[in-house]
Amino acid sequence: MKKFIILFAVLALVIGSTEAKDYAKMQIKEMKHAQKYGTSQQLLKEKNDNNIPNNVITYNVPLKDPKIMKFGHYEEVSDTDYNKKLENDAKKYEVYAKQLGKKHSKYYTTQADAEDFYKVYRIAERLIRANKLDYINWRISVYKDTDNPNAYTSGVNHVAISTSLYDTFSNNDDALALVIGHEMGHALLGHKKRSEQLYARMERLNRRASRGSASAALIYMGMKKKYTIDSKNMEYAADVEGAKLALHAGYNLNNASDVLKFLMTYDIDSDLRSDHPSASKRLENFYENKKYFLEDWETMGRYNIYKSEVLPVQLSSDRKSIVISVPQEKLNPNKYYSPETMEEVYARFGYMYYLNREFEKSLKYFDELFALDQTNAPAYLYASYASECLYKNTANSKYLNLAKEYAKKAQSLDSKNKYIKEQVDNL
């Protein structure tokens, strides 16, 4: 009897869970999974404005922002140098455009014309170079399906786009970049392996249930609910990861969001049954997380493009996809893409919540960061700024004390920083 009581309690917890509404919080939780399931490091080791209403409380106060929070390595590239690099790259692109246009054996049937292959090549190649994804050959397909605007990923390096989706956005490179980035995001975050593990566990329970196990049947129901929720959350995470990849590559996210708006026009699946979220919720998630993207990501991607060479492309062996090749050099895991670490995620959200004047949330995520890393002096400084703003708006002395505490901690880590010294003296 006791065993069944515990079983029902566990089942109630699983079934009673609901889809996350705090999309930023959900994304942070998802990035924890990325540390386990992210594919790039495993593979190398083995070989505009927010358009969605927001009801959060913000404070209209002046902000201090000495811009000393750093995320990733890059250098500024002048427009002159960057444009010269693009001109040189263009000559190489012309060569590959001609190669894709050549006739091949009559025994092969391509699923797309050379012009279509060339377009997806240019978009995918830009995403790869801007985000340092050239740790493996990527394969891109445009497959014939005139009725279902869809895209999917298989394995860890294959992205497929239906002709109906491609044709719909053939004049919107930003939207196609988001589509390709979304599918790359699934691969990069290890979603295929994660979902297959969940499905395999669910199938084992289902087989036990079919043999008459009542406990297996109950757990199966809960696991099925979990599978649906996790599948939706993986879609949310891939939308955000795809947007990050596209932004690094310099694509316009406002134009890119057209693809999510388009999905809303025919999205009829019940949100309770589908393993994908409704398009409207995906759009909410997109806009919510876009608020916390970093302004310098595009600059970082531009630097990555400037420091890299055009990647070769060729038709695949079956002539139904293209293969974008990686440089022939010894692979070094430190050179390539990896999902944000939890320290980076907490620091970014803490910083961006501060800039968006959501000071309580800023402190919450900075505290999450400090639980993992107590050496980030700039983060302590910004936590002091956020606390000071809360004190000015609430006159609650606890925030003044917090501001002083964070400032002193920052000073103990970096006593020569003039901005930290100014904050300590000011408080």
pLDDT score at 393? 92
Give the pLDDT confidence of 304-327 residue by residue, as tens digits: 999 999 999 988 887 788 999 988
CB count within 10 Å of CB 171 equals: 8
Across the chain, what does the average pLDDT equal? Answer: 86
Cα–Cα distance list, 4 to 208, 214, 219, 225 (Å): 17, 10, 11, 19
pLDDT band at 2; cut points 50, 70, 90: low
pLDDT recorded at residue 209: 85
pLDDT of 331 reads: 65
Q: What tens digit of pLDDT does each residue of 55-71 get?
A: 556 667 789 999 999 88
pLDDT at 181 over 70: yes
Domains located in the chain, CATH noted = 79-335 (no CATH), 341-427 (1.25.40.10)
Is the pLDDT at 272 greater than 70, yes or no?
Answer: no
Residue type, 262: F
48, pLDDT greater than 50 = no
Instruction: Please give the average per-residue pLDDT across 179-183, as a whole number.
Output: 98
Q: Among 398, 410, 409, 403, which Cα is nearest to 426's? A: 403
Closest CA to 261 of 190, 153, 175, 160: 175
pLDDT beyond 50 at 246? yes
Contact 283, 52 (CB under 8 A): yes
| Pairing assessment for the beta strands 158-162 and 321-324 based on DSSP bridges | unpaired
Asked if 167 and 197 touch (Cβ cutoff 8 Å), the reply is no
Each residue's pLDDT tens digit, 333-365: 668 898 899 999 999 999 999 999 999 999 999
CB atoms within 10 A of CB 269: 13
pLDDT of residue 49: 44
pLDDT tens digits, one per residue of 85-126: 999 999 999 999 888 876 554 444 555 667 888 999 999 999
Dihedral sign for Cα 258, 285, 295, 242, please.
Answer: negative
**Percentage above 70 pLDDT, the chain:** 85
Q: Strand, helix or coil at 238?
A: helix
User: What's the rounded mean pLDDT across residues 266-290?
Assistant: 81
| pTM for the full predicted model | 0.86
